[in-house]
Structure 1
């Protein structure tokens, strides 16, 4: 049904025209929940109105009969929330902002130090090969810490990767990647990322602003970060899960080696897509798992 068109189901008991129930539904970090549904029942438990939130999270119904009501708000992926609303003689009932909590976790990880768990995380990169298909690789040795600030925009991350741990499933190719043509692990054994400052990019999404040092060259690199939730683990700890992506240009890091195989088609594409799936454990020490 359309927002604002549903009103009290008891004929003649509500004022005509004007404003009824009005509220805004949001997550704990302030993002609107546009798919939320508000159901209004009277003291006898009868449904008198129902409305779906608009794109900005606003919920509105037609005027209500004066009195007390229960408003239950539901949304896929969130725990339901209930509030009491009082309709005035004009039929209006103002609820302000109603906050929904995510099912299975909090909206943001609790502030403090979180240690990346390499055993349950993945650092992967994909490059195009011959303009036809993709070559997938990963790094098997890495670590780092995330500092969650009470104001999430001030959070930071520090991570280091053992460059020699690159693994594409082909020993000859991996040795070439370790050479001076690419990672030059003999002179630059560590790939480092330091991020400081987050910019909101949508519900549960942020842009992490940071600097990547790769093969001895440092460049600004932003990560597109998604927060996947927080929950307990079997070892008595608390874990947070994140997914981050970035696209790198090889020439920005002086990795200019290539081979033209035919009619301008290069053996390796000019860009790398980096994908990070990270589990971080609350605290400075990883549990024995």
Structure 2
């Protein structure tokens, strides 16, 4: 059995899947809390009969407070609720394909060395696209990094990283990520679950994504910017080499942080410049 139900939508009528419905009694004590599903539907457990207060909130939208009348069966409905966007809410990019611009995108990887210092590596070549959906949370993405372009600034170390001890770029030339949607975490923040393939292994991975906005560029196109981060465990991808393991010293840390600053161009191909 359900209690109070609501259909929560944005001004255009699309579901607001990240909305939360909270019900309190007239003294302000919380009675129930329910998150909306992918269709924007929210439903609480059965509630005490009577008159209560319902508040609907969602990141990037103005909250709405309503009177909820609950029947003797513990049920009630608010019907369809339209949430207005907050004044400071960001405007997401228009739907359609957006192509990563390698010349204006960077991938930075940081690992701990000897437990005290951070070793940073850049990958010079990254490509891919975002397919931005009408409902932004249904956006999907694909990115690929050429493993052989790793650069720490020290040639001997870079050659070692490319070798079979680490990335094994001859066998596994690409590092790829396929994102399967977005979950809002704040006005300009989302998480993107997906699958990362590295060193021949594929593991579920979630990116923390910050949206930087979109706008026209000097070449007649439109661009959007995103920053994404995730933390990987080396052993999940069989990157187990450690020249000092027998001495009991961790030469390279067990976790690796990946940061991506991505600029995308609207359309399914890069313009000639």
What TM-score do the two structures reach when normalised by structure 2? 0.68
Residue 121 of structure 2 corresponds to 137
Structure 1 residues 212 and 261, CA, compared in 2 at 3 Å: closer, same or farther? Answer: closer
Quick one: which of 177, 186, 190 aligns to 1:206? Answer: 190
Contact 2:232-2:255 within 8 A present in 1 as well: yes
Query: Does residue 163 of the first structure (1) align with residue 147 of the second (2)?
Result: yes
Query: Could you tell me how far apart the structure 2 residues matched to 1:59 and 1:132 are?
Result: 49
Residue aligned with 2:182, SS: strand
Structure 2 partner of 1:254: 238
Residue of structure 1 aligned with 2:158, choices 152, 174, 186:
174
Contact kept in structure 1, 2:64 and 2:83, CA below 8 Å: no
- Give SS of 2:109's match: strand
* Separation (CA, whole Å) in 1 of partners of 2:251 and 2:201: 23
Which structure: larger Rg?
Answer: 1
Contact 1:27 1:100 survives alignment (8 Å): no
Matched, 1:193 2:177: yes
How far the C-alpha of 1:288 sits from its partner, in A, is 2.5
What does 1:1-289 correspond to in 2, within 5 Å? 57=62, 99-100=85-86, 107-260=91-244, 264-289=248-273
Q: Which runs of 4+ in 1 moved over 2 A?
A: 26-32, 55-60, 96-103, 259-265
Once residues 112 and 123 of structure 2 are traced to their aligned partners in structure 1, the CA distance between those partners, rounded to angstroms, is 18
Quote the Cα distance in structure 2 between the aligned partners of 1:238 and 1:257.
Answer: 44
Residue 261 of structure 1: CA displacement? 7.4
The answer to whether the 8 A contact 1:194-1:210 is kept is: yes
Q: Is the 8 A contact 1:144 1:160 kept in 2?
A: yes
Q: Deviations over 1:45-74 (max 9, x none)?
A: xxxxxxxxxx985599xxxxxxxxxxxxxx
CA contact under 8 A between 1:107 and 1:204: conserved in structure 2? no
Give 3-state SS (helix, strand or coil) of 2:175's partner.
Answer: strand
Q: Which residue of 1 aligns with 2:34?
A: none
Alpha-carbon deviation of 1:264?
3.3
Instruction: Give the TM-score normalised by the residue count of structure 1.
Output: 0.65
**Mapped contact 1:160–1:191 kept (Cα < 8 A):** yes
* Alpha-carbon distance in 1 for matches of 2:187, 2:83: 16
Q: Distance in 1 between matches of 2:11 and 2:117?
A: 40
